[in-house]
Chains A and B, each alone.
Chain A
Amino acid sequence: MIRFENVTKVYDQKARPALDAVNLEIDRGEFAFLVGASGSGKSTFLRLVLKEDRATSGAVYVAGQNVAKISSWRVPRLRRGIGVVFQDFRLLPQKNVFANVAFAMQVIGKSRSVIRDTVPEVLKTVGLEGKEHRMPHELSGGEQQRVAIARAVVNRPGILLADEPTGNLDPTTSMGIMGVLDKINQNGTTVVMATHDDDIVNEMRKRVVELKNGIVIRDEARALYTSMIPVVGQSRRLKDASGREAPEAGLPGEGEGQR
């Protein structure tokens, strides 16, 4: 569904690349976490998928298309196939819940009757039945994020990108949001979620792609937030930090199956 082939993104010629020769494939229907410190390249990854930015070299494929080859007037079509959720919800404050979700359908020219049928259905999926006429400021953070998710998936995109969707929420609410994302994933949508939230990653046990300084340093299925296997590049750092020799290879029995 999303394939990165040797993708490098350089914002500033003098600084190090934001993404450095990244090769990655995320299959249809998969749920993948993108983890790593700030500045590790998570957001750049999401921006390249959306064609907000152009890769400096290498090729980004979304749903089989090389995004570099999509002409600018067809970019909207690409974006209709991708839902996006942010940390700060980005709802329209003067529109109620129904109108916020309906907005995503109006602007791409869906008819009023389709909107009337689809929006309540999606609101039910995210667990907001009966709150159609609430205004965003009357909702809790978790409920606002559910509205944002509903808006992202109302046009049935094949991919859902979530950029730290639980960053502003408490752990319990976050788990609720993860339940919604998991449900959407069960319905066949590919979900890519950039996050710092180790509890969630550890709880979900999904594929984890870890970025560091623009390089993929770990890619494990059903993994935890921090690696159980010291990677080759990390061993020296571990040794330096602890002051004693660390094993070069992964600890037997601890490692999850490397993808």
Chain B
Amino acid sequence: MRLAFVLGEIGSGLRRNLSMVVSVILVTFVSLTFVGAAGMLQMQINQMKGYWYDKVQVAIFLCSEGSTAAGCASGPVTAEQQASLNTLLESPAVAQYVNDFQFESKEEAYNHFKDQFSNSPIVDSVTPDQLPASFRINMKDPEKYQIISETFSSQPGVETVIDQRQLLERLFSVMNGASLVAVSIAGVMIVCAILLIATTIRLSAFSRRRETGIMRLVGASKTVIQLPFILEGVIAAVIGAALASATLWAVAHFFLGEFMSQQYPDTAFISSGQTLILVPALLILGASLAGISSLLTLRRYLRV
């Protein structure tokens, strides 16, 4: 009976305040979409980091056929050159900066490449010969990259020394910047959403002050009086969060999954399935935003 009563009150509240409820839905929708976009960018960064980061920090690429670098004038790397590079890496002067290192042959490089771009058509056009062999070095302190670079760049058989972390980091910093922008916009929109929810609940409480006054007098509990208002805000915000979730899924599925992965086949994009883990977070965020702001509003504007 009391549940039916509360549900009836929610229904009448939503109907009476329809335009405000719609605006709450839209504002939470937009703000949570930006929150989710920031989340997706971070997921994309992690996706790319997942393969590269930590595994490899500095790569010494060895000369292969067709290398044009100055150190490769004598042709592809020889076994002796490779052995001497190996000895140099193990020498105390270099070893003190190195956690560990490993040699990656052309075949291994090809296998890694296949793993990373398993769902991309580029795999078919690459052969093991096109990929250079390399030493993969895990640094104790990534900032000491310069030492490795100076030591090895001039060695015979070395094509180039690359701090892959730096290359990736440049891209990641752009993406991080974008997600920061998204988070800032989301922050402003969330403030809007909170204020709008507070105003809506206030109006709703004001338009029903006769009912709530009588409810108090006849001894209705605080829960029965306040719950319809709080749920009103929460329902609107959850609808907004659901719309935001659907939008993010659609972006991942249609934009990243179908359009972007064709434009940039050599990049691993997050899948639409991965965005689904954002859905509960957005729903909880939306519901708690609405719940907390309406609770605070009611404490001020609805005497119980």
Interface residues of A (CB under 8 A from B): 50, 72-73, 76-81, 83-84, 90, 92, 103-104, 106-112, 151-152, 155
Are A84 and B217 interface neighbours, CB within 8 A? yes
Are A76 and B219 interface neighbours, CB within 8 A? yes
Q: Which residues of B contact A78 (CB under 8 A)?
A: 219
How near does chain B come to A207, taking the closest CB pair, in angstroms? 25
Are A80 and B218 interface neighbours, CB within 8 A? yes
Per-residue CB proximity of B195-225 to A under 8 Å, as 1/0? 0000000000000001101111111111011
How near does chain B come to A49, taking the closest CB pair, in angstroms? 12
How near does chain A come to B197, taking the closest CB pair, in angstroms? 25
Bound Cα distance from A109 to B223, whole angstroms = 12
Bound Cα distance from A109 to B5, whole angstroms = 8
Q: Which residues of A contact B217 (CB under 8 A)?
A: 50, 79, 84
Task: Give which listed residue, A72, A90, A111, contacts B1 with CB less than 8 A.
Answer: A111
Q: Is B2 an interface residue (CB 8 A)?
A: yes
The total number of A-B Cβ pairs within 8 Å is 58
Q: Which residues of A contact B210 (CB under 8 A)?
A: 90, 92
**Residue ID in chain A nearest B220 by CB atoms:** A107
Bound Cα distance from A60 to B214, whole angstroms = 23
**Residue ID in chain B nearest A107 by CB atoms:** B220
Assuming the A-B contacts A111-B1, A112-B1, are A104 and B222 also in contact, with contact meaning beta carbons closer than 8 angstroms in the complex? no
Bound Cα distance from A81 to B219, whole angstroms = 8
Task: Give which listed residue, B211, B219, B222, contacts A108 with CB less than 8 A.
Answer: B219
**Residue ID in chain B nearest A80 by CB atoms:** B219
Given A76-B221, A107-B215, A109-B2, 17 other A-B contacts at CB below 8 A?
A: A72-B222, A76-B220, A80-B219, A83-B218, A90-B210, A92-B214, A104-B214, A106-B2, A106-B5, A107-B218, A107-B220, A108-B219, A108-B221, A109-B1, A112-B1, A155-B218, A155-B219
Are A103 and B219 interface neighbours, CB within 8 A? no
CB contact list, B1-27 vs A, under 8 A: 1-2, 5
Q: Which residues of A contact B214 (CB under 8 A)?
A: 90, 92, 103-104, 151
Bound Cα distance from A90 to B212, whole angstroms = 11
Q: Which residues of B contact A111 (CB under 8 A)?
A: 1
- Closest 3 pairs (CB-CB, A-B): A80-B219, A107-B220, A79-B219
Bound Cα distance from A59 to B215, whole angstroms = 26
**Residue ID in chain B nearest A161 by CB atoms:** B217
How near does chain B come to A11, taking the closest CB pair, in angstroms? 16
Assuming the A-B contacts A107-B224, A111-B1, are A151 and B218 also in contact, with contact meaning beta carbons closer than 8 angstroms in the complex? yes
Bound Cα distance from A155 to B224, whole angstroms = 17
Q: Which residues of A contact B222 (CB under 8 A)?
A: 72-73, 76
